[in-house]
Each structure stands twice: as structure tokens, then as C-alpha cells.
Chains A and B, each alone.
Chain A
Amino acid sequence: MALLDVDGINAFYGNIHALRDVSLSVDDGEIVTLIGANGAGKTTTLNCISGLVRPRSGTVKLAGEDLAKVQPHHIVERGVVQVPEGRRTFARLTVDENLRMGGFTLTSEANLRDGISRAYDMFPRLKERRSQTGGTLSGGEQQMLAIGRALMVSPRVLLLDEPSMGLAPTLVESIFETISSIHAQGTSILLVEQNALMALNVAGRGYVLQSGQIILSDTAANLAANEQVRQAYLGEI
């Protein structure tokens, strides 16, 4: 049984059919990537998993348990945490407060402190800026904060939405290194990316989403070698 199992979901925005029978799964300990062009439905897929968007049909299951009626904040409690597109750190909260909000579902102050110190170990830059507000951070620092914030609760499945978006190439590389090390510590990851090359590099398997439909699913190596993928997403002619 897959840890996270999305089965045949259909989602709509008004009359727009955003997802058509999308199915994907993430096994325990895997990195799975979901690649596709802008507007293909990648973020919608993640939001269906997080409960912000409710699919009209199909199921989202975590370890066999249906999440259809589970509120978004309870989905976090069950260990599925999303780092949203564009980072969305709280601009008026300090770095410390942002991390505390990431650990909102933790009940003990000790766990909270522990999570914060893990985040600062992972990203020493954040520690230097702990009492600055989120709005004053650079894009790269905000991405670190967004990831650190999501890791506060030690998620079982981490959903990453375009973590490399808008970052300088050197920062992109270090963010992907971070993703690999989070995975190495045992977190399962569903990685949504436009940067297909980097994503297929770190992932074990991948899915290609186009106009709301999964058109390909294979191991990352096979996808990276696939003619269609190379033409459409890896910028080769």
C-alpha cells in the first residue's frame, strides 16, 4: 500500500475542468516528482491533497485512510505538509514566529524548541535573522524559511510546490541539495517542478501532467531519457 495514494481525482474551478482522472502515488521513503507546464494543474493536485481544494470525484488516501472529509489543518496533523508555491512566508511575522506557526500542531513547547533548533541547524542563515520579519528576507532565505517551517512537524509526506521558482541558479542547486538531504533523513517527498531536469535528477519516479491529465509515468531515469519529455520539458529540440 502506498503511503500517499491519489486515485482518479477530478477537480473544477467553476466550469473549468482543472484535473481529469489524476492518479499518482508516493511510497514510503520515495521522492516522486510531478512535472508539467504552467497551468497544467500541478498546484491544484497538491491543493487537493492538502484539502484546500476538494476534488469532485476520486479519492486521496494517506496510509489507506480517506482524506475527503478531513479539514486542511487536520491533514497537517496527520503528517502531510505542503510548502506552497511562491513560499508564502508570513511577511509580518518574525522568522522565529514563522517557524512557530509551522509547528502550530505540536503540543509541547519542548518539541517546538527542538523543531526550531533543527531548522536553524539546517539553515544557519535563518538563525542570524531570527527576529527579522519574513518580509525583509531575500527570496532564497524565504524559501529556506518555508521549508524549515514545513519540517517543524517532521512530516511523513512533504509536498513541495516549485521550490526553485525565482531563485538564482546557485540557490537552486542548494535547495535541491536540501531536498535530497531531507529525503535522506527519511521523509517522503512529492516534488512539483517546472525545472524538470533538476527534479528528475533527485527523484526516483515521476509523472508528467499536461492540461490536467497524467500523460506519462515512469522512473525518473526513463522520463529523463524519454523523447517527448526531452522536447517538451528539458528544452531540447
Chain B
Amino acid sequence: MYARVMERITDVAIAGVLWGFRIAVVLLVVVGSALTLGGGRHSAESWLSLIVSGAVLGSIYALIALGYTMVYGILRLINFAHGEIFMAGTFGGYFVATALSGIGFLNLNPITSIISVVLMMAGAIVVSVTLALLVERIAYRPLRNAPRLVPLISAIGASFFLQYTFRGFFGPGIYAYPTVGILDAQVPLGIEGFRVKWIDVLVIVSAVVMMAGLFLFVQRTKLGTSIRAVSEDKATAALMGIDVNRAIVMTFAIGAAMAGAAGVLYGLIFRQVYFFTGFVPGIKAFTAAVLGGIGNIPGAMLGGIFLGQVEGVGPTLFLSGLGVPSPNQLRDVIAFTMLVLVLIFRPSGILGERVAQRA
């Protein structure tokens, strides 16, 4: 009797805490936003700038998130090494850029700069895809039929292995990414106080193009459809004559290619790369994938864009009106609070199915 009463009290207490949490977050967001907007301290131009910076971040998160979500979709595996695949791409782009800068090609004129960026992306994609396929072959494929926790541990191991391999080769120091002059120039919009650089345009446009290409590939082509079929039922896909391993390898390659491209974009924006570069963007992109509903491709795109906006606009909108000094320092707090909120209140994500049913 006593135990049951205590259990009941605990249940009520937990529910109360959850509701309190929910109300507190909503209050914080509503009151903070109202005070910020009421205070009128930020001009429309500065909001626009925040939205652009959110879109830039979100594009990168979305590109990385697609790799997490596609691999999860086909293998039910959280590929924790994916952040390192992204980091490797950033390094790949760095070395191409340094080489091109060394021969004076990188900033010779706008055309060579554009060619250089394309070459950097190509180099990054080659590095990322190669590495991802090695990881799949060595760390995941032998464990294909093992209990699900086993490849997950292998993924964490692969993540550390890659981080410290890069640290071993390139040291713990931070490398400064070469500057591409034309990308740092302002886009001549003629709006006072609203500045957009060409790099922002490049990031957003290339992310949109890659995601549209991926969407068409997965929805409209035979190979893309076969990836969806394998995601749903491997044995039946094999009975249809689909090479299941090839579909899985293709999934890893596509995810890695997008992560590699995202790595170059990231390097061009944040101007640095080191062995730990993949960690935070990797976790953020994973958050974005969960936000959108892990396993769901449009969900990863949406989750990435959404998380980018929450990080770009959120701190100023929610916190500056409350008098929080330098709210942008708290963007990671906001991002991970979102992750926790989603896991508690909508574990299936925005577009996802219930994860528990599929697990």
C-alpha cells in the first residue's frame, strides 16, 4: 500500500515537473520575445541579418543531418563517426585550397576562385566518401547482424579513432583556412545595415541545390527507390534482385559527399579546421536529424533549417529582451534545450514516425 502511494506520488511529481518545464520554456520564449520586440532595440535590417546567419548555419546542419538520417533509415544505426567524416572533408578542402593558394591560383581572379572552390568541394567529397566507405566496410558491415547496441559502440569507437588519427597526422593545433577573396565581398544589395556576403549566398544556394538533387534522386530514380525499399525491408529487397550491400554503400557515400561539401562551406565561413572540428557540428546536425524525425529525409532538411534559425535568431529574440548580456553566447544552450524538449515531448520529431515502434 505504502509503496503504491509513493509510486503514485512520484508519478504525479514527474508529470508536474514536466509540465512546469514546458510552461517555463513557453513563458521564457513568449515573455522574452515580447520584451525584445516591444523594446524595439533591433532594426528590421538586423533581424534580416540574423535570419541570414541562421539560414547559413541551418544549411550546413541540414547537409550533415542528411547523412545521419539516411544511414539511420537504412541500418537503424546512429553513425557517430559522421561528424568526423565532415571534419575530414573540411581538411580535404583545406589541403586543396592551400595547394591552390601556393601556386597563386586561388585568388588570381574571380574565375580561378570559383574553379578553386569547386576543386575544394571535389577534394573534400573524395576524402569524405573514401573514409565513410572504409568505416562502413571495417566497423559496421561485419556487425550487420549483431544486436543494435554493438554497431553503435563500434560507431563511437570509429569516431574517436578518426579524431585521434587526424590529431596524430596533423597535430592538435588549429589550421587557418585560406581566404577566398571574392566570397568575402559584400553582395551589393543597397540596403543600409543589412549585409550579406557572397559566401552566405554560396552556402545557401549549394545546400538547396544538393538537397533538391538528393530529393529527386531518392524519389524519382530506380536506385533511389531501391534505397527506400532496402530501408523498409532488406530481405524482401534482396528477393527483388536488389543488391542490398550496394544500396547501403550508396547511402553512406551520398551522406558522406554532402558532409564533405558541408565541410568546405563550414571552413570557408569559420576559417579554421582541426581534429575536433567535427564534434560540435556533428552533434548539432544529429540534433537537427532528431528534430525533423530521424530516418526521414525531408525531416532532416527541415530540422537543420529550423535549428539554424533557432540558433541564429533565438538568442536575440528570446533573451535580449530579458536583459541577458551577450545572448549569442547561449546559442548552444538553446540548441540543446531544443533537443531535450523534443526528446521529452515529441520523440518522433517533427515529421518522423514513432521511433519506439521501429526500434
Contact = CB atoms under 8 A, between A and B. Distances in A.
| A and B held together in a complex | yes
B239 A76 contact: yes
A14 to B, nearest CB: 12
Interface string A72-89: 110011000110100010
B4 interface: no
Nearest to A89: B236
Contacts of B228: 90, 92-93, 97
A97 B241 contact: no
B231 to A, nearest CB: 8
A106 to B, nearest CB: 9
Nearest to A82: B239
A206 to B, nearest CB: 24
B233 A104 contact: no
B240 A52 contact: no
B216 interface: no
B229 interface: yes
Interface string B223-249: 001101100110111111111100000
B212 to A, nearest CB: 20
A199 to B, nearest CB: 21
B240 A93 contact: no
Contacts, number: 61
B236 to A, nearest CB: 4
Contacts of B242: 73, 101, 104
Interface in B229-281: 229, 232-233, 235-244
B232 to A, nearest CB: 5
Q: What's the dominant secondary structure at chain B's contact region?
A: helix
Interface residues of B, number: 17
Contact of A90 (B232, B238, B241, B243): B232
Contact of A72 (B225, B226, B239): B239
Contacts of B240: 73, 76, 101-102, 104, 149
Contacts of B236: 84, 88, 90
A228 B313 CA distance: 78
B232 A91 contact: yes
Nearest to A51: B238
Contacts of B238: 50-52, 72-73
Given A100-B222, A104-B226, A92 B232 contact: yes
Given A84-B239, A102-B240, A93 B226 contact: no
A104 B237 CA distance: 9
Nearest to B246: A73
B211 to A, nearest CB: 20
Contacts of B235: 52, 84, 88
A203 to B, nearest CB: 22
A73 B225 contact: no
B87 to A, nearest CB: 33
B241 A73 contact: yes
Contacts of A100: 222, 225
B348 to A, nearest CB: 15
Nearest to A94: B225
Given A93-B225, A97-B225, A100-B222, A76 B232 contact: no
A153 B241 contact: yes
Interface in A90-123: 90-93, 97, 100-102, 104-105
Given A73-B244, A93-B232, A81 B239 contact: yes
A77 B241 contact: yes
Contact of A88 (B233, B243, B244): B233
A77 B229 CA distance: 18
Looking at A77, A81, A101, the one whose CB has the most chain B CB atoms below 10 A away is A101
A201 interface: no
Contacts of A97: 225, 228-229
Looking at B232, B233, B237, B244, the one whose CB has the most chain A CB atoms below 10 A away is B232
Contacts of B233: 88, 90
Contacts of B237: 101
9 contacts: A50-B238, A71-B243, A73-B238, A84-B236, A90-B229, A90-B232, A101-B229, A104-B226, A104-B241
Given A92-B232, A93-B228, 11 more contacts: A52-B235, A52-B239, A73-B241, A81-B239, A81-B241, A82-B239, A88-B236, A90-B232, A93-B232, A105-B241, A153-B241
Interface of B: 222, 225-226, 228-229, 232-233, 235-244
